[in-house]
Amino acid sequence: MVKAKLDSITNQFIETICKRLEENKQVRRTLPVWGRVHIDRQLPFICIFRQIDESDDSLPERLVMSEASYLTASGNRKLHKQLSLLVSNIALTMKNVFGSFLIIEVWIKPENEITNDDLLYQPGFRIIRTKNSSINPTIEKLEKSLRSIKIRRQPSTVEVFTTNKIVPPGLNPILSSVEIKQLGCHMLGIEVSPIYKNLETHQIFPLVRRELQRKFSRSLKGGFFKFTNNKTTYRPPNFQSLGRWSMVKAVWEVDSQLAEISSGFDFLLQVTPINSNSAWNAFQKSKYRSSPEFYYRPLPIDPALSKRKLYQVPIERIEDPTLAQLFRQQQQEIDRKLTMLIDMGTPRFIFGSLQLYGIVEESLLNLSKQILEKLSPRSRDESSGNIIDANIFAARAMKELSYFRKTLPNSRSKIIIREDISGLMVSHGNLLIGKYLKISETRMEALIQHEVGTHVLTYLNGKAQPFKQLYVGLAGYDELQEGLAVLAEYLVGGFTSPRLRLLAARVIAAHNIVNGASFEEVFHELNRNYGFEQTTSFTITMRTFRSGGLTKDAVYLRGLVKLLEYLKSGGELEPLYMGKISADHVAIIKELQWRKVLSPVPLKPSYLENAETIKRLDDIRKGISVINLVKRSKK
């Protein structure tokens, strides 16, 4: 059903909006000619942007559309009286709820006022206040927040200007000083330099506009938070809680489309060989002189067509800059993975791997060498005890899934034993176990918590949230995921010297392949120089050389190191289990929780109920080196 276009802002239209606000319901209505009023819920503020130049296609209104309460409207003089009446009624309705109300009108600095200095694209803001303004703390907070903004490394200039009336050039005041006083409200203006476009060629810089929008929005929330606490009866717990709580349809559409594309293939499964056992036999027969030939699963998708779908996802329709940023990062990472699938078996594959997983830093390489030198290769603390097979491991893993189902009874994760899997792997929330798996019983609990207690758990936690990206995996999630998984091994007392040496060896192998070493050279270095058994050396080398060079295995040790630093500095553990996220997303996860977009983490690892685990976690918070993890994990 097509809604009739609104010709004017009628009294009935205004009454409907105010009634919904009185009932604390969301308002999202189109305005005549151009614009929209969007008010997420009862809030003691509103941002206004009025369109002055209808030919301006640089989307300057985006500066206010990030907010939970905003109004964009035409600057047409014929609509002014109606628009003024709408704003005054909204202000009065909210003032009656909170005791006060703040209106901030935002506009773009006119081109005829721009000097040569402005053409350097330095962010600039002017805060406009009236002489009798009584909200100095709010103004000071806004000024400080705006000064902290840097765009393309350039610091902001901020000026506070006092005037008799707050109005964009060429327009009438949305409310007069007398009306503002009668309403018992407050008003400020913010003029923004248009650094997102070239004023000579009129070329638009969309990436600059996005960055400006995101940082400007954060500054506005800081000002709203100060005003709310100083002038109203409302006490929000955090400035980020003043952001949007409800999501518009475009958000769910983008999330769903990205998840569909990402779920169309399992990247790690596709780039992992299916003939590891026969390849090892062939390598042995060659007396370790000829690189083995690996075979891979057929691709279930056409990467080129998937890329076409990927860039048709309308992320630009999302008004919320936090979510738009997450989705764009996701779009770029999916694109890289699709390119790598195209490049499998070619020299180009490793360059995609470096983009995805990063280089091996010198500090990480030195740490790895130190580990291999200090820890004896003759340690046998992993081979002691009984040897268990795939069936016994699967039975223990099922017990862990049963523990999860007490909290999430509808979870559908499965345990699957497969012949084409070597070792263990989690795919789409399911634990895949190689049919010929053989491990020491002393390592079983550590591996259960690595695979099920971390990878499956974060998948299920992500599945319990409204955004599909949280279980599909946000951009760059591997490093934190593997760091958490290795930490779990330590927390259950199963992190051993051979295990740490293995993680260090993976870093060495990743470094060597990037520097042009052959399969045989890496194998022999691990075997002869670092004392790894031939089968172990082969497995490490195979994982590194798969599909043309996959440097992912370096993230295990890197992720662990960064996680130890995070916990030592007071970082919280619980947000890390929200889903498949990176460390860079922790602040965003917390913001979305403050905004009630995300709910609390439903599942926590079972081992966190153990007193010994809590003691080990306390040791980490006090500060502990990676090598000392091995000593302290021993009973």
Single-letter amino acid, residue 568: K
- C-alpha 615/C-alpha 341 separation (Å) is 44
Local confidence band at 7 (pLDDT 50, 70, 90 cut-offs) = confident
260 pLDDT band (50/70/90 cuts)?
very high
Average pLDDT value over all residues in the chain: 94
Per the DSSP assignment, residues forming a β-bridge with 425 are 432
**Residue-wise pLDDT tens digits, 330-364:** 999 999 999 999 999 999 999 999 999 999 999 99
- Asked if residue 279 has pLDDT above 50, the reply is yes
Predicted local distance difference test score (pLDDT) of residue 379: 66
CATH 1.10.10 is the classification of domain 11-246: no
Q: Give 163-221 as a DSSP string.
A: ES----TTS--SS-HHHHHHHT-EEEEEEE--TTB-TTT--B-HHHHHHHHHHHHHHHH
Q: At what angle do helices 497-514 and 555-568 cross, to 10 degrees?
A: 120
Average pLDDT over residues 147-176: 95
Beta-carbon contacts of 276 under 8 Å, excluding residues fewer than 6 positions away, are 294, 422, 539, 542
DSSP letter assigned to residue 388: E
Instruction: State CA 78 to chain mean position distance.
Output: 44
572 pLDDT tier (thresholds 50, 70, 90): very high
Single pTM value for the model: 0.89
Q: With contact defined as beta carbons under 8 Å apart, do 26 and 39 qualify?
A: yes
What is the tens place of the pLDDT at every residue in 588-633?
999 999 999 999 999 999 999 999 999 999 999 999 999 999 865 5
For residue 599, what pLDDT is reported?
94
* Percent of the chain predicted with pLDDT > 90: 90
Q: 363: buried, middle or exposed (CB in 10 Å: 19+, 13-18, 0-12)?
A: exposed
The Cα–Cα gap between 81 and 382 comes to 79
Strands 69-74 and 157-163: unpaired
Find how far residue 207's CA is from the centre of its chain.
18
CA dist., res. 606 & res. 615, Å (int): 15
Check residue 523 and give left, alpha or beta (phi > 0: left; psi -120 to 50: alpha). Answer: alpha
pLDDT band at 3, cuts 50/70/90? very low
Backbone φ and ψ for 37, nearest 5 degrees, come out as: -110, 125
Over 80: is that where the pLDDT of 382 sits? no
Local confidence band at 79 (pLDDT 50, 70, 90 cut-offs): very high
Indicate whether 430 pLDDT > 80: yes
Which sequence spans correspond to the domains of the chain? 11-246, 266-300+343-633
Residue 255 tokens read as: 């999330």
Token pair for 239 = 């400035």
pLDDT per position as a tens digit, 538-560:
999 999 999 999 999 999 999 99
**Average pLDDT estimate for 385-403:** 94
Distance CA 455, CA 335 (A): 23
Q: Is the pLDDT of residue 4 over 50?
A: no
Instruction: List alpha helices for 375-475, DSSP H.
Output: 390-405, 441-450, 457-463, 469-472
Are 580 and 477 in contact, with CB atoms under 8 Å apart? yes
Q: What's the length of the chain?
A: 635
How far, rounded to the nearest angstrom, does the alpha carbon of residue 611 sit from its chain's CA centroid?
Answer: 32
pLDDT digits (tens, 9 = 90+) for 98-146: 999 999 999 999 988 887 665 578 999 999 999 989 999 999 999 999 9
User: What is the pLDDT at residue 1?
Assistant: 36
Owner of token pair 């009866």: 233
Beta carbons of 173 and 89 less than 8 angstroms apart: no
What the block records as the tokens of 444 is: 């079983």
Predicted local distance difference test score (pLDDT) of residue 635: 46
User: What's the pLDDT score for residue 492?
Assistant: 96
**pLDDT score of 2:** 37
- Rg over alpha carbons for the chain, rounded to the nearest Å, is 29
Q: In this prediction, what percent of the chain has a pLDDT beyond 70? A: 96
Contact 85, 183 (CB under 8 A): no
Residue 23 corresponds to which tokens in the numbers above? 């009932």
pLDDT at 119: 57
- Are the CB atoms for 124 and 193 separated by under 8 Å? yes
Residue 67 is given by DSSP the state: S
For residue 161, pLDDT over 60 is answered with yes
Residue-wise pLDDT tens digits, 454-488? 999 999 999 999 999 999 999 999 999 999 999 99
Measured at the alpha carbon of residue 81, what is the angle toward residues 77 and 87, in degrees to the nearest 5? Answer: 115
pLDDT at 314: 96
pLDDT reading at 316 higher than 80 = yes
Quick count: other Cβ atoms within 10 Å of Cβ 174? Answer: 24
Q: 199 pLDDT band (50/70/90 cuts)? A: confident
Instruction: State the distance between the two ends of the chain, measured CA to CA, in whole angstroms.
Output: 69
3-state secondary structure (DSSP) of residue 131: coil
Q: Reduced to 3 states, what is the DSSP secondary structure of residue 127?
A: strand
Instruction: Find the range with the poorest average confidence among 148-162, 370-384, 430-444, 519-533.
Output: 370-384
> Which of 177, 90, 195 lies closest to 128 in space, CA to CA?
177
Q: Are 496 and 382 in contact (CB under 8 A)?
A: yes
Say which amino acid occupies 453: G
Per-residue pLDDT, 117: 61
- Looking at residue 632, what is its pLDDT? 54
